[in-house]
Amino acid sequence: FEIGAIGEEAFYRSLREGSGKELSTADINKAWNAMLLDVPSERLDFIRAIARKHRVFLFSNTNSIHKTAFDKTLELQLGPGGFDKLFEKAYYSHSFGMRKPHVETYKALLKDAGLKAETTLFIDDNADNIRGAAEAGLQVLHLTGELLDEPRLRELTR
């Protein structure tokens, strides 16, 4: 589902079959989207600040249901275009057909975006994703604390 190999209807059907219950689509979406978190405004401000001086891309392992819910939430916060407008291009695993942490995924993304691995900084909070990106030759930063507490990131906005 996360790489778009199955659609929403197949996903819903598998959940209904697995649970043995006639779950409504709305109930499934509500439960499925309960794991989504808000994006703190300081992170949004930070992305805007970096984007004034650098090319900024997003790559998220997600699915179409989460993307729809996320878009609705962030359009309320950011206006039309929502989260995607903060980036030169936003890549989502379910539409890109590949996901982190596979090395081939990073290479395909670099090629699509016209980026060079050695001059591209990849930031993530997941150690497996960091390892995959490093194996693909990207510069990496494993985010383990608050975004703005990281000296390398603060430097990007100066």
Report how far Cα 51 is from the mean position of its chain's Cα atoms: 17
Decide if domain 8-156 falls under CATH 3.30.2350.10.
Answer: no
Report the alpha-carbon distance of residue 141 to residue 36 in Å, rounded.
Answer: 23
Confirm if 59 and 91 have CB atoms less than 8 A apart.
yes
| Torsion over CA: 72, 82, 55, 153 (sign) | negative
Does this model's pTM top 0.75?
yes
For residue range 96-117, what is the model confidence (pLDDT) as tens digits?
999 999 999 999 999 999 999 9
For residue range 17-61, what is the model confidence (pLDDT) as tens digits?
999 999 999 999 999 999 998 888 888 988 998 999 999 999 999
Q: How far is CA 18 from CA 11, 21, 133, in A?
A: 11, 8, 35
Q: Which of 57, 61, 60, 52 is closest to 112 using CA atoms?
A: 57
The encoded tokens of residue 115 equal 């980026």
